[in-house]
Structure 1
Amino acid sequence: MTPHDEPRVVRAAAMPAGTPAVPVAIVGAGACGLTAALRLRDAGIDCVLLERDAVPQGSTALSSGFVPAAGTAVQRAAGVDDSPERFAADIQAKAHGTAAAHLVRAYTEAIAPALDALQQRHGLAFELLDGFLYPGHSVRRMHTLPARTGAALVGALTAAAERAGAMLVTDALVRELWVGDGDRVLGVGYTRPDGGVEHLASDVLLLACNGFGGHRALVAELLPEMRDATFAGHVGNDGSAIAWARQLGLALADLGGYQGHGSWAVPQGVLITWALMAEGGIQVNAHGRRFHDETQGYSEAAVHVLAQPGGVAWNVFDERLLALGRTFPDFRDAEAAGALRRADSIDALAVVIGCDAQTLADTLASARRPLAPPLYAIKVTGALFHTQGGLDIDARCRARRSDGTVHPNLLAAGGAARGVSGNAVWGYLSGNGLLSAVAGGYIAAHTARELLEAA
């Protein structure tokens, strides 16, 4: 990032003459921004989404696309008994009680109405992921579109937003926040592919843009254990929200929280679903030894894997789990790319891994579930996917100042704001990122409407 590209705050009495205006401007057209835009349009409020890419992608497109929610119509139809309270308890159990309580409550209560509205009003055909539980979830609550990819989710949200009349401006990289008296946001400035700068004024601004996982200096500063890890997230996670917050004196929170993943295939660079580990697969290091409890979750597994010789491990599983893996598009992509290795015996698997056969046999004998030949292995490393810290916000997604007061018209949610994973890698419960994005966008839109009505 050159100095000309650095996010900056521009202090001025007004936006440049002739600047177009909109009630709500949204920085970022991922799951958070698009959900907010849809709810605003449901309320008849005009909004503009400013998206840095030519086509909306972001962290959402790189995710699994699985959104956890409690008490949805989809769950009820499947006979699943769940509640926001139960979901909140699972989140706090994973985070050892360190997740922001006000956001845990707000998000677990908002996510079911948000998904139901997306399904009933905008045609997103969610279904309940069946067959296994991700670590930490006490019931089935992962909602997915039939394609089972994050790209499908962001594509469906984008199409719905365009049908609903939300204006989407792509190739628009927001670099400037214009602020006036009392730090009230006046609008934004964004660069275009030809290097030109355009401006947009707004009454309310929602930062739904990014985390900081792609900013190496911030990762080194705030997540030193991941400074050398592969970043498997989107380039848009450049820390701009943090830069603006620091310039405005806004509070930041949970900057040590992040989503890692201990199952990033190397050298293929493809995510291997943790469903294999959840259902009985194991991870072994280059010596054929198991080195952690895979049932604790894939986020903290990243740190465990990176601590192994060479920073790599092997996912080991059998035919039963292979069949499960092949139900996930990312797994099929990894297999097509040559990541999957087959071995008809433990001795043959030891050759694949390059370890002692007896050591590996002893490890497999102690597996949680018996693994019967033929066996399969995929070489993986630990990766950083998405940060979970950012602007401190209240339960209405209003940005907080360092003194605890709320900003008059700046909202933040999704990757730009603190999440519900606490301040460490082990606090991340599967799906927390999309929970914060979808529920946060839904809540932020309601808050924007209230701010507009009160003006």
Structure 2
Amino acid sequence: MTMGLVDGLVHRIRRAPHLDAEARTQVAIVGAGACGLVAALMLHDAGIDCVLLERDAVPSGSTALSSGFVPAPATRAQRAQGMVDDSPARFAADIQAKAHGRAAPALVQAYAEAIGPAIDALQERHGLDWIVLDNFLYPGHSRHRMHALPQKTGAALMASLQAAAEAAGIPVLTQALVDTLWLDDADRVLGIGYRRPDGREEQLACDALLLACNGFGGNAAMVRTLLPEMAEATFGGHAGNDGSAILWGEALGARLRDLGGYQGHGSWITPQGALMSWAVMMEGGMQINREGRRFHDETQGYSEAAVHVLAQPGGIAWNVFDAPLLALARGFPDFCEAEAAGALRRCDSVAQLAACIGCDAAALQATLATLHSRSAQPDGRVFTRGLAAPYFAVKVTGALFHTQGGLDIDADTRVLRQDGSPLPNLLAAGGAAGGVSGDAVWGYLSGNGLLSAIAGGAIAARTAAARIHANKDSHDE
């Protein structure tokens, strides 16, 4: 037996020739976030039984904390809005361009091809009513392909996926903390063990196992070791991101990939604790430090912005924008909630804005004056217009949202051993697996997290269903 101990939770691998469990399912899924729920819905559509196991009383995970935006090309929703020039190949090229070619090529291709059909299936079979955000482009995307539900929140996405699972009659065991994987000597998963809140231990046998639990952002020790630049950053993700999949993978001798990759966010509103849409930055807003200066090209991406913000005095910056950009921001419910909580400051003059930020008014005036030149800033950014009073400001810091490294998987989401061979019936997707952002913060293309969750969940369902159907056919012969 091999153990990894984190925050009092033991992650165990146990070996046995067979498992006499209280219950059996064809596919067990650890984690009922977007990845697990999508996989379960696709398995249901394929006629495969599954059970979702969720540690929390109510499934939420990183998805519920996100904006709920999913990038996908060539979808029904795009066509409905007159967008007909996107493609998986174009999307894959955007992913690799953002990652500087360091994302896993086979996985990039697989996800770029799978996400559109998955989005369409969720709409056509399970009632998710997607819209495409078409009034701005997120960093790195060459086409409008960011899909959202009309509510534009991750909580709404989770609620819709949960409602679809309930309507399909898919069992979801909540408050079921999986701590043990049972395998035979050939590395075939036999089932899992999990604990209930009263300490009772239960077991579930399965024909295939999908690890859809998230990454390690909530594991302070792993963050200090693997992401030292984020060691003191605010964690804006879900506390359940404890690195379970990585710990089990290490115990199994599985290969790990891209552990230095993660999604940061340079627009974590403080002290309210919410994400402010980066659309405001892309459309002309800017980040100002306590010296009254800009300090990076905001259009490069909100993930790497986290590192830039944390490097400023006090690890603080101010998002500065004007009335037209405020109207854009108010189109996002998360911002409206933060504004209601007192995050927004109105300043009728540069002097008031400087007092709000705590910087020198002359330095701030010089920064604002450069925006009107329409020439490239020293960092390369070009502003098409300046900001006009009244000015608005929101205090932000840099945060770690979720990690992008994890178990190495192939294009079918099968977990790989050190020699590159797949484990017989162990799958991983979403935050449990290495994603498509490469091995650094700047490789994260907007939406890569939910891309990995939804596309990965759909592919894992396809792989598990094919395996189970093949086994059934061989037994019938």
Task: Give 1:54 deviation, angstroms.
Answer: 1.0
Select 2:451's aligned residue among 405, 429, 435.
Answer: 435
Distance 1:3 1:280, change over 3 A: closer
Q: Give the aligned partner of residue 188 of structure 1.
A: 192
Q: Give the aligned partner of residue 461 of structure 2.
A: 445
Taking only the aligned residue pairs, the percentage that are identical comes to: 69
Q: Give the aligned partner of residue 128 of structure 1.
A: 132
Select 1:30's aligned residue among 33, 37, 48.
Answer: 33
Say whether 1:344 aligns with 2:360.
no
| Structure 1: stretches of 5+ with no match in the other structure | none
| In structure 1, distance between residues paired with 2:329 and 2:177 | 37
Select 1:63's aligned residue among 52, 66, 74.
Answer: 66
Structure 1 stretches of at least 4 aligned residues deviating more than 6 Å after TM superposition: none
Task: Give 1:436 deviation, angstroms.
Answer: 0.5
Select 1:54's aligned residue among 37, 40, 57.
Answer: 57
**1:106-133 C-alpha deviation (Å, 9 max, x unpaired):** 0000001000000001110011112111
1:11 counterpart letter in structure 2: R
1:42 counterpart letter in structure 2: D
Task: Give 1:55 deviation, angstroms.
Answer: 1.2
2:446 counterpart letter in structure 1: S
**1:5-60 C-alpha deviation (Å, 9 max, x unpaired):** 22111122222x35211000000011111111011000111100001111110011
| In structure 2, distance between residues paired with 1:341 and 1:7 | 46
Q: Give the aligned partner of residue 119 of structure 1.
A: 123
Say which SS state the counterpart of residue 189 (structure 1) adopts.
Answer: strand
Q: Give the aligned partner of residue 416 of structure 1.
A: 432
Structure 2 contact 21–203 (Cα < 8 Å) conserved: no
| In structure 2, distance between residues paired with 1:309 and 1:226 | 16
Say which SS state the counterpart of residue 438 (structure 1) adopts.
Answer: helix
Higher mean displacement: 238-247 or 129-138: 129-138
| In structure 2, distance between residues paired with 1:285 and 1:42 | 51
Q: Give the aligned partner of residue 388 of structure 1.
A: 404
Task: Give 1:339 deviation, angstroms.
Answer: 0.8
Task: Give 1:385 deviation, angstroms.
Answer: 0.1
Task: Give 1:102 deviation, angstroms.
Answer: 0.4
Higher mean displacement: 242-251 or 125-134: 125-134
Select 2:421's aligned residue among 383, 394, 405.
Answer: 405
**1:75-132 C-alpha deviation (Å, 9 max, x unpaired):** 1111112000110111111111111100110000000100000000111001111211
Distance 1:292 1:2, change over 3 A: closer
Say which SS state the counterpart of residue 25 (structure 2) adopts.
Answer: strand
Higher mean displacement: 175-184 or 254-263: 175-184
Say whether 1:43 aligns with 2:46.
yes
Distance 1:2 1:196, change over 3 A: farther
| In structure 2, distance between residues paired with 1:272 and 1:295 | 15
2:399 counterpart letter in structure 1: A
Say which SS state the counterpart of residue 242 (structure 2) adopts.
Answer: coil
**1:170-227 C-alpha deviation (Å, 9 max, x unpaired):** 1111111111121111111111111111110100000000100000010011101101
Q: Give the aligned partner of residue 296 of structure 2.
A: 292
Distance 1:356 1:438, change over 3 A: same
Say whether 1:268 aligns with 2:272.
yes
2:362 counterpart letter in structure 1: Q
1:447 counterpart letter in structure 2: T
Q: Give the aligned partner of residue 168 of structure 2.
A: 164
| In structure 1, distance between residues paired with 2:82 and 2:113 | 19
Structure 2 contact 99–438 (Cα < 8 Å) conserved: yes
Q: Give the aligned partner of residue 475 of structure 2.
A: none
1:308 counterpart letter in structure 2: Q
Q: Give the aligned partner of residue 214 of structure 1.
A: 218
1:366 counterpart letter in structure 2: T
2:221 counterpart letter in structure 1: A
Q: Give the aligned partner of residue 474 of structure 2.
A: none
| In structure 2, distance between residues paired with 1:365 and 1:281 | 14
**TM-score, scaled to structure 2:** 0.94
**TM-score, scaled to structure 1:** 0.98
Say which SS state the counterpart of residue 236 (structure 1) adopts.
Answer: coil
| In structure 2, distance between residues paired with 1:271 and 1:148 | 13
Say which SS state the counterpart of residue 186 (structure 2) adopts.
Answer: helix
1:163 counterpart letter in structure 2: A
Distance 1:83 1:214, change over 3 A: same
Task: Give 1:384 deviation, angstroms.
Answer: 0.1
Q: Give the aligned partner of residue 141 of structure 2.
A: 137
Say which SS state the counterpart of residue 381 (structure 1) adopts.
Answer: strand
| In structure 1, distance between residues paired with 2:366 and 2:326 | 22
| In structure 2, distance between residues paired with 1:359 and 1:206 | 54
**1:153-176 C-alpha deviation (Å, 9 max, x unpaired):** 011011101211211111111111
Q: Give the aligned partner of residue 152 of structure 1.
A: 156
1:421 counterpart letter in structure 2: S
Say which SS state the counterpart of residue 188 (structure 1) adopts.
Answer: strand
| In structure 2, distance between residues paired with 1:90 and 1:103 | 14
| Structure 2: stretches of 5+ with no match in the other structure | 372-382, 472-477
| In structure 1, distance between residues paired with 2:188 and 2:370 | 60
Task: Give 1:451 deviation, angstroms.
Answer: 1.1
Higher mean displacement: 163-172 or 303-312: 163-172
Say which SS state the counterpart of residue 321 (structure 1) adopts.
Answer: helix
Distance 1:68 1:2, change over 3 A: closer
Q: Give the aligned partner of residue 359 of structure 2.
A: 355
Say which SS state the counterpart of residue 418 (structure 1) adopts.
Answer: coil
